[in-house]
Amino acid sequence: MPQLPSARGRYDAAVIGAGPNGLAAAITLAQAGRSVIVYEAAETIGGGTRTKELTLPGFAHDVCSAIHPLGIGSPFFKRLPLEKYGLEWIQPDAPLAHPLPDGSAVLLERSVATTSAGLDAPDQRAYVALMEPLADGWDTLASAFLGPLRPSLIPLGIRHPLLLTTFGLHAIRSACGMARSVFRGERARAIFGGMSAHSMLPLERSPSAAFGLVLGTLAHAIGWPLARGGSQSLTDALAAYLRSLGGEIVTETPVTALADLPPTRAILCDVTPRQLLSLADDRLPSGYRKRLARYRYGPGVFKLDLALDGPIPWRAADCLRAGTVHVGGTLDEIAAAERAVWQGKAPERPFVLLAQQSLFDPSRAPAGKQTVWAYCHVPNGYTGDMTEAIEAQIERFAPGFRQRILARHAMSAADMERYDANYIGGDINGGVQDLMQLFTRPTIQLNPYVMPAPGLYLCSSSTPPGGGVHGMCGYFAAQAALRGALT
């Protein structure tokens, strides 16, 4: 068996994968005084949190994650001295804009009241009644969603029954069901539908409403920031802090079998169940292997990065105040696009998630130029080209946009998996996040981070609380290791 590098001799723990969760796991172990080495397959660290010159010199594009409400809201990241290592959050004027076919746009503002003023009159009070208590109670909700899920929910529910019941009753619903019963006008329904579509579930399916509620609450409570210089700066800050604690990272070192690793007391894997099955060989009992093999992956994404000669000429100029723009029109249109994806079809009019970071961070592009980050959902593993469909959607709400394009870089769902092996078929959440699998990832088990093999832990987004750049999966897995193999 080829042995992987073990530069300084023996380590207490090895982490496979230098994504945000792998780095969070390694930091947690190093903070507790354990020696740790991280093995990363790619040339550069960061997994889904990297920035590259994908189009032209001087244009810095976030290859995957770009907008970080979960990063700034992460109880784990909050405790780290990341600013000291170069991380700076930038809050755009408004978190989100949602252009509509009538030429106007709905703005999700930091203030609940200002947001509600932009909705149709009958929805203004309903919006405030729904969102104000959630925004005020974000710290409690954060403990429920980003905290140690199961154990925390019961005491939290006893202390905050009204907040959690209100949230739970809405969150458990489908986005379409909730939006149509709570709101009467298209403006509120559309913006809520767009946020809920981050679930990558059909909007008729429960609990897609939960994603809309959490993202809306985050916008009001802490904002949807981007990282100055690119998402890579969050990765670089995590890595620099890890190294300051004595942790080591080696790149260009894909691990193909756990048996190849130098002996350590614990191995933490920032990979998804399918990869774990191939890495772990016969270390996992056959019953557990069968359960892991039933783990489900969801739709993929098609990613498009653009270098532009100037800002996007949105028909609704207010869109230029927002870091993120949801391009998909009405609730019905977005629901149709997401439904098509689940039926295995590429949507004709995709729902496009777009970020325009360079409007707020001039370091991303040469003077006067702009970057655009956009993606849409497609069937898992889809190899087709959605460039034309994405550009047509943007052009619909910003006539003349195409004339500003200087260069493009596109990645299909299959390319995404080649770029980062954790994005199976282009699934960016490490597995479907529906009612069954959101709380029971990777399988139904008492501690989702502990694998039934001595010293083996799973620390990726295929464990709770799931997808997104928050590091909480890595933190909880490392805590489990510190209570277990690394006691």
Ligand X SMILES: Cc1cc2nc3c(=O)[nH]c(=O)nc-3n(C[C@H](O)[C@H](O)[C@H](O)COP(=O)(O)OP(=O)(O)OC[C@H]3O[C@@H](n4cnc5c(N)ncnc54)[C@H](O)[C@@H]3O)c2cc1C
| Residues lying near ligand X in the complex (CB under 6 A) | 16-22, 39-42, 47-49, 64-68, 70, 254-255, 270-271, 275, 301, 303, 375, 416, 420-423, 428-430, 460-461, 467-469, 473
- Residue 307 φ then ψ, to 5°: -105, 130
Choose between 188 and 428: whose C-beta lies nearer to ligand X. Answer: 428
Is the CB of 160 or the CB of 470 nearer to ligand X? 470
Is the Cα torsion angle 93, 95, 100, 106 positive or negative in sign? negative
Q: At what angle do helices 138-146 and 208-221 cross, to 10 degrees?
A: 130
Calpha distance 388→204 (Å, rounded)? 27
Output 307 or 428, the one with its CB closest to ligand X: 428
Kindly tell me which of 41 and 478 has the beta carbon lying closer to ligand X. 41
Least Å distance, CB 420 to ligand X, is 5
Minimum distance from residue 274 beta carbon to ligand X (Å): 11
- In angstroms and rounded to an integer, the radius of gyration of the C-alpha atoms of the chain is 22
Shortest distance, position 361 Cβ to ligand X, whole Å: 14
The span from the CA of 412 to the CA of 417, in Å, is: 9
> Which one, of 268, 275, 202, 271, lies nearest residue 432 by Cα?
202
> Closest separation between CB of residue 109 and ligand X, Å?
19
Quick check: 383 and 411 in contact, CB under 8 A? no
User: CB of 240: closest distance to ligand X in angstroms?
Assistant: 17
Residue number with CB closer to ligand X (232 or 330): 232
Q: Rank residues 92 and 118 by Cβ distance to ligand X and give the closer one.
A: 92
Under DSSP, is residue 85 helix (H, G, I), strand (E, B) or coil? Answer: helix
Q: Which is nearer to ligand X, 163 or 416 (CB)?
A: 416
Count the Cβ atoms, other than its own, within 10 Å of residue 248: 18
Closest approach, Cβ 300 to ligand X, in A, equals 9
Least Å distance, CB 45 to ligand X, is 7
Q: How far is the CB of 161 from ligand X (least distance, A)?
A: 30
User: Cβ 8 to ligand X, closest distance in Å?
Assistant: 19
Cα separation of 332 and 327, whole Å?
Answer: 13
Q: Residue 125 Cβ, how far from ligand X at the closest point, in Å?
A: 31
Distance CA 56, CA 165 (A): 50
CA distance 269 to 438: 19
269's CB contacts (< 8 A; 6+ apart) are 15, 16, 17, 275, 276, 279, 456, 457, 458, 459, 460
Q: Which is nearer to ligand X, 210 or 469 (CB)?
A: 469
Of residues 328, 324, 108, the one with CA closest to residue 217:
108
Helix axis angle for 208-221 and 121-136, nearest 10°, is: 80
Q: 70 or 316, CB closer to ligand X?
A: 70
CB atoms within 10 A of CB 256: 12
Nearest position to ligand X, beta carbon:
19
* Cβ atoms 436, 430 nearer than 8 A: no
Minimum CB–partner distance for residue 204 and ligand X (Å): 24
Strand order in the sheet with 36-39: 248-250, 36-39, 13-16, 266-269, 456-458
Q: Which is nearer to ligand X, 95 or 118 (CB)?
A: 95
Q: Which is nearer to ligand X, 175 or 424 (CB)?
A: 424
381: tokens are: 């593993």
